Structure 1
Amino acid sequence: MKDLKDVAAARIDGLSARLLGLSHRLHANPETAWQEKQAAAWISAELTGVGYKVTRELCGFPTAFAATLGRGPLQLAICAEYDALPGLGHACGHNIIAAAAVGAAAALAPVVDALGVTITVIGTPAEEGGGGKIELMDRGAFDGLHAAMMVHPGPLDVARAEPFAVSHSKIRYRGKATHAAAYPERGVNAADAFTVAQVAIGLLRQQLQSGVRVHGVVTNGGEAPNAIPEVTEGRWYVRAGTLADLAVLEERVRKCFEAGALSTGCDLEIEAESQPYAEFANDEAILDLYVANATALGRQFVSSGPDMRMNRASTDMGNVSQRVPAIHPYIGIDSLPAVNHQKEFAAHCITAAADKAVMDAAKAMAFTCIDIARSSPLRSRLIGNTEQVDPLKETVDVH
């Protein structure tokens, strides 16, 4: 007879080569939002190998999946992310997230019946701007779940997710091309429209409340230096503390883009890249369990200082947390001074410290799921008092 956490830990340790191999393989083959074909296939294969039933192309999305094991009334989800950043590869460490999710799922496979749980790993594409979780949630992928979790890498261990709400927009100005030297007066300069808009945004910042963010890039500034640019394009993010604050801020930023169109005579098009990402609602009881388990594994959490600010980064997991009790802690990979979304951070995501983060995150999530299942008050809150099984078994036979 072994304690369930001992069983889970041994399972993860026994699969270390496969888990770290998966992490490194994903890192070496980065795929951007909605293009994660290899990643989804590799992760699905690993989950099939540890006993999970995998549904591919979940909700009609080619690179989404769900892997399920168990028949218990308590429905717990572990979210896997695996998309990379354009031009930066896995500079946000989603290879670590995916491998840790597989590890936690594998650890729980031998004990789901003893715990009275059903475990589902949801493969969620396009976190980096595409809002994959929101799209999946709208199509029912998170229906019936009682709690959800994932662990995200950063420079340091930070327990609480406190992300900005964010909107992602494509901006396009349409003007009229002409020869820049011979007939400049016959053109309508779409590049000037972006210049005016960016100046207006820069001036707006001094009137904005502390903590909001407005930032973006021009992805197409024109075709040739001797032609007045006819079409220019960019991508812009607007961030605020809550969705309500975001709606107010977005309107002010929109007027800056309208100023660019008005002053130059261009036509303006603003297209949402995804639905807005929401702020995060941490489930405090589940988070306390995670912190206790991670601390027992030797993780040391920080709660102040500029190096911990990865916990402010926006995530579509925030939208999940508004509907399902959830946590989204951060696990450190000892990368400083490198931080997320730098090429140096990408290099750190396959170091020994990153590999340890995979193993520790897998164990901490598995242990947290076990503690959730063993806690009668927490089970009652999550699913009610209708179940007639004993979920509080402390031991399980392992043959």
Structure 2
Amino acid sequence: MTGVDIPDVDSVVRAATPDLIALSHSLHAEPELAFEETASVAKIVERLAQKGFGVEVGIADLPTAFDATYGSGELVLAVCAEYDALPGIGHACGHNIIAASAVGTGLALAEFADELGITVRVIGTPAEESGGGKVLMLERGAFDGVAAALMVHPGPFDIVGASSLALADIGITFTGRAAHASAAPEYGRNAADAATVAQVGLGLLRQHLAPGQQMHGFVSDGGTAPNIVPASAEMLYYLRATTAASLADLTERASACFAAGALATGCTHEIRTVSPTYTELTPDSWLTESYRAEVIAMGREPVARELEGSRPLGSTDMGNVTNVLPGIHPVIGIDSEGSVTHQPAFAAASVNASADRAVVDGAIALARTAARAATDAAQRDRLLDGVERRR
């Protein structure tokens, strides 16, 4: 893979390094939640527009989704930017690094778009943490015509062939009947008890879960006062599994626990989908190995192939993208001092010197990988054929 000559994308990223790091730090300093990333989008698209990208904000009927395009080549390569933060702990998943590296990759590829015969698209994808922005954008055609989609995500260490779990994000509402908890408890139907019974069922189910299946959640509403039998209760739960098929099995079994809670307490219940279902990552093997060669050449030491699947990275809506078209979602390591994503300490680490290096290294590695795909005749044909088949 390293035998093909590619243009000097490194120099473009290195020239833009001060601005890329400034962007990363600015996004980190002003974290915004899912579908509310207005300031973040403005900061990102400003950089791209200044370099000649045609920018459209609000694509796919999502106000904080955007498409920044450069070039006119037949091979359309997309770089996905994420920029939503987490409630209370800000950029504890390092999406500021993702967005800044995406801009760097886009700038590097745009510099050589004509030479490579490509169209570069930096696609802004909101609400990865909750809301499934990419799923909605896929359904609404935002990735139509894209031959390959690439992005890089920070973590405590480098994982090239990263794996993730399919995810169902659900809410369960129990409806009972209010009554005075002391004077007339027999008239009540306790919705909070329904949630308790359901959680006992889920706890017992855990001993029979298939490998890779997970359940976690909490009671988000359990009543208003101790002397009122709760007439309503709500649970918010994530169900995860290694594949979409395994997730469907888990969902059926967990749903029986929710139904049992309602039946045992004389309540009714309703299960709703909070966010679109995420599917598991299926990274493209050629792009994965090309990226691996690049980061190793840069002096990084990714986790061994045989260990990559031992610790899935939670769930991501990039999984849905990789199940439709070729794509990669490698993890680039930062010095997080023992912390992991979704911890406050990881948020603090997402603007340290190693995080700044990850912005630059991630942009260069993605740009090199994309350039190799564009200049390798067999891979170029494969990617273009894939677009035709999806049409």
For the criterion TM > 0.5, the same-fold answer is yes
Relative to structure 2, which stretch is displaced further, 226-235 or 258-267?
226-235
Take 1:86 and 1:16, find their aligned partners in 2: how far apart are those partners?
Answer: 29
Question: Could you say which residue in structure 2 is the equivalent of 1:94?
Answer: 95
Q: Please say if residues 149 and 326 of structure 2, whose CA atoms lie closer than 8 Å, have aligned partners that are also in contact.
A: yes
How far apart are 1:385 and its partner, in Å? Answer: 12
1:1-399 matches, cutoff 5 A: 7-303=8-304, 311-384=312-385
Give the Å deviation of 1:17: 1.8
Equivalents in 2 of 1:265, 1:28: separation in Å? 49
Q: Distance in 1 between matches of 2:349 and 2:143?
A: 32
- Quick check: 2:90–2:347 contact (8 Å CA) kept in 1? yes
Name whichever of 173-182 and 134-143 sits farther off. Answer: 173-182
Q: C-alpha offsets along residues 307-362 of structure 1, whole Å, 9 cap, x if unaligned?
A: 98664321111111111111110011121421011111111111111111111101
Amino acid in the other structure paired with 1:149: L
Report deviation, 1:384. Answer: 4.1
Q: Displacement of 1:306 after TM fit?
A: 8.8
Quote the Cα distance in structure 2 between the aligned partners of 1:103 and 1:348: 20
The aligned counterpart of 1:389 is none
Query: Against the structure 1 CA distance between its residues 191 and 302, is the aligned structure 2 distance closer, same or farther, given a 3 Å change threshold?
Result: same
**1 CA distance for matches of 2:360 and 2:189?**
57
- Alignment TM-score, normalising by the size of structure 2: 0.94
Structure 2 CA distance for partners of 1:212 and 1:80, relative to 1, 3 Å: same
Aligned CA distance change for structure 1 residues 304 and 77 (closer, same or farther; 3 Å): closer
CA distance in 1, matches of 2:186, 2:345: 47
State how far apart, in whole Å, the 1-side matches of 2:33 and 2:386 are.
Answer: 43
CA contact (8 A) 2:133 2:317 kept: yes
Query: In the TM superposition, what whole-angstrom CA distance separates every residue of 1:179-217 from its partner, at most 9, and x where no partner exists?
Result: 323322222211111111111001011111122101112
Q: 1:334 to 1:305 in 2, by over 3 A?
A: farther
Q: Displacement, 1:57?
A: 0.2
Q: Is the 8 A contact 1:302 1:308 kept in 2?
A: no
What are structure 2's unaligned runs of at least 5 residues?
none
Deviates more, 1:82-91 or 1:147-156: 82-91
Deviation at 1:227, TM superposition (A): 2.0
CA contact (8 A) 2:7 2:371 kept: no
Given that 1:4 and 1:370 are in contact with CA atoms closer than 8 Å, whether structure 2 keeps it comes out as no
Counterpart of 1:183 in structure 2: which amino acid? Answer: A
Inter-partner Cα distance in structure 1 for 2:256 and 2:82: 35
Structure 1 distance, partners of 2:209, 2:196, is 20
Residues 100 and 310 of structure 1: is their aligned pair in 2 closer, same or farther, counting only changes over 3 Å? farther
Q: Is the 8 A contact 2:161 2:308 kept in 1?
A: no
Q: Judge conservation of contact 1:81–1:123 (CA < 8 Å) in 2.
A: yes
Is the Cα contact below 8 Å between 2:7 and 2:112 reproduced in 1?
A: no
AA paired with 1:378?
Q
**In structure 1, C-alpha distance between the alignment counterparts of 2:131 and 2:377, rounded to whole Å:** 38
User: 2: CA distance between counterparts of 1:231 and 1:101?
Assistant: 45
User: Offset at 1:245?
Assistant: 1.4
Q: Distance in 1 between matches of 2:126 and 2:91?
A: 14
Q: What is the TM-score normalised by the length of structure 1? A: 0.92
Residue 101 to residue 308, structure 1, CA distance change in 2 (3 Å): same
Letter in 2 for 1:203: L
Letter in 2 for 1:330: V
SS at match of 2:112: helix
Q: RMSD of the alignment, in Å?
A: 2.0
* Structure 2 Cα separation of the partners of residues 347 and 310 of structure 1: 23
**Secondary structure of 1:129's aligned partner:** coil
Deviation, 1:178, is: 2.5
**Separation in structure 2 between the aligned mates of residue 95 and residue 26 of structure 1, nearest angstrom:** 6
